[in-house]
Chain A
Amino acid sequence: MGLVGYIIRRALYSILLVILSVLLVFFLTHFLAPDPAAVWAGPHAAKSVVQAIVSEYHFNDPLYVQAYYFVTGALTFNFGISPYFKQPVSSLIATYFPRTLELTFFAMVISVLVGVFTGAFAAAHRNKKGDYSVRLFYLIGWCAPPFLISLILQLVFSYKLNYFPTSLLADPALATPRFVTGFPLIDGLLAGDFPYVESHLIHMALPVIALTFISFGLITRIMRSSMLESLKADYVRTAVMKGVGTRRAVYLHALKNSLIPVITVIALTFAYLIAGAVVVEFVFGYEGMGYLITTALYNYDYPTLVGCTMVITISVVSINLVADVMYALVDPRVRLGG
């Protein structure tokens, strides 16, 4: 089959999945609601607006025509106009989504680092105090609702200790840098606007910590069990027998082999982080996708909600694909076949 064949196969399947998920959303949004046009237009729309919506979005046409328009719309990132924001949904997403991606990126990187380290630590101290304290720690992170963690962090750091500011992307007094990529960090760096970058980083700190705390447990868990498996493996015994020393045997042989299952969890972590971001951003007042979704929710802005869902799903499927490809690259048993 070969590596290239595998990648192509997975990519095709991902595309299929995206299309199917768009269809599913279409099905959910058009079948389940008794009057889709009204839902789409928003609760405050006048009758005339609803009529306009009906013709614009082809709500009176047969189902497969509707589906066609919906799917092609979605794939070209045309999600309609937001009744609340009075803007095309796609431009809203283009503004807000990158900010969330920044948060999730940092949170993922830190989660992986923390997770790998704590997982290996827990495996090494199996069933002793070190193991139990790690497990307790991630249990709390896993079980506490995201809003609780965010609130506690806010309480402790922002209000009581006054270290970190409590809301928004950056100090509101600072002007936003020129819109190049939509990623505030990158735009700020490109513009050479270091006060902005610094302020932005500070404002990101708490949300990232909150997100990391809720998701690192996933990685710790799998790292720990993976390590325990590897440590028992024959090739570790061989390495010890060869005289390489226990430390090298563990860190090189066991650890490296343990990292492979972690890759499979990374995509899962991303999905979990996005969901958590909705709440975390709301609590911290960070204006990203979460903010967009919650605002859309409160204001019955249906098109925005649907658009956000599509974009998020596409991202999750893409990350899944990347993770699968990475897995194939790293594991020679998959890469080269028998």
Chain B
Amino acid sequence: MGLIIVVAFYGWSLLEGVLQFAGMVLHMSSLGWVLLPSDPFKISLNQALLGPSPAHLMGTDDLGRDIWSRILYAAPVDAGVSVLVIGGGLLVGSLVGLPAGYFGGLTEEVSMRSTDLFLAFPALILALVIESTLGREAVYAVLALVVVWWPSYARLFRGETLRVKSMKFIDAARLSDLSGLEIIRRHIVRSTFNTIVSYATIDLGSSILVYSVLSFLGLGIPPPAPEWGSMVSFGLEYFPQSWWYSLLPGIVITIVVIGTALLGDGLRDVIAGEQ
């Protein structure tokens, strides 16, 4: 079940994202909404704040723009952010966690204490501070979130490394004269992959959640570009009469995150079954 949602979301985002990118490169911005029911940027004030109908599946916003089109158009943003954040988190986390687990001693102590440090901050708060300092743009949001996310992966990588280190075949590899980094690369990475995969999937959803809150607070992509979180906050003015403006994007976010959670759980069950 989760698989369907996730595949739909990321698949669509990829497609749409490619179209948008191509459109940007080729200066044919209409390429971006060729697949959408309506032009997400077209303003028609006489169509403002209409409720959901067959013409506008999720209604229109205060400028008469079709909300469902805007939601579809904005999908690549959240998809891209989640991938970047988790990818970055994994990268930094592995750089810190793998050596920590393998070499132990001071490396491990320093690494683990620093993860403690970063984990002492609630995710949102840390991201807020970082973004306020750097600048309120989506780029910095991604950076801030990577800073928030890497510690848990560092811990994961270290834990996995420790677990694998105690297994017999590492000793065998060492006997056959492979250097430390070689061993890390070949054996440990492959074996940690399984555990990481299910966590990362669930985290994709969590990062979308946090990012949507950041965007809600105005720390994402500025208007008129649509973005799920910011759409909710714009809709607040017209709440509760035009409830669809704020609620529907929120529900879409929820569905995507649930999709990742289900998929991640399912993956974990599958992996546990294999081991």
Contact = CB atoms under 8 A, between A and B. Distances in A.
Interface of A: 17, 20-21, 24-25, 28-29, 32-33, 39, 139-140, 142-148, 151-152, 154-155, 159, 271-272, 274-275, 278-279, 283, 293-294, 297-298, 300, 302, 305-306, 308-309, 312-313, 316-317, 320
Given A29-B133, A151-B246, A154-B240, A21 B121 contact: yes
B125 A313 contact: yes
A298 B212 CA distance: 17
Given A275-B124, A302-B132, 11 more contacts: A21-B121, A143-B261, A144-B253, A145-B229, A145-B250, A145-B253, A148-B254, A151-B246, A275-B122, A297-B218, A313-B125
Interface of B: 116-118, 120-126, 128-130, 132-134, 205, 209, 212-213, 216-219, 229, 232-233, 236, 239-240, 243, 246-247, 250-251, 253-254, 257-258, 261-262
B235 to A, nearest CB: 9
A279 B262 CA distance: 25
B107 to A, nearest CB: 18
B124 A278 contact: yes
Contacts of B128: 293, 297, 305, 309
A278 B126 CA distance: 13
A39 B133 contact: yes
Contact of A145 (B116, B123, B125, B213): B213
A317 B119 CA distance: 10
Nearest to A25: B129
A44 to B, nearest CB: 16
14 contacts: A21-B117, A29-B129, A33-B133, A140-B254, A143-B257, A145-B229, A147-B213, A148-B250, A148-B254, A155-B240, A278-B124, A279-B217, A297-B217, A305-B128
B117 A24 contact: yes
A298 B125 contact: no
Please report whether the interface of chain A is mostly helix, strand, loop or mixed according to DSSP: helix
A143 B205 contact: yes
A265 to B, nearest CB: 14
Please report whether the interface of chain B is mostly helix, strand, loop or mixed according to DSSP: helix
Contacts of B217: 279, 294, 297
Contacts of A306: 129
Contact of A316 (B122, B129, B133, B247): B122
A143 B133 contact: no
B122 A145 contact: no
Nearest to A298: B218
Given A143-B261, A147-B232, A21 B125 contact: no
B122 A151 contact: no
A274 B133 contact: no
Nearest to A166: B240
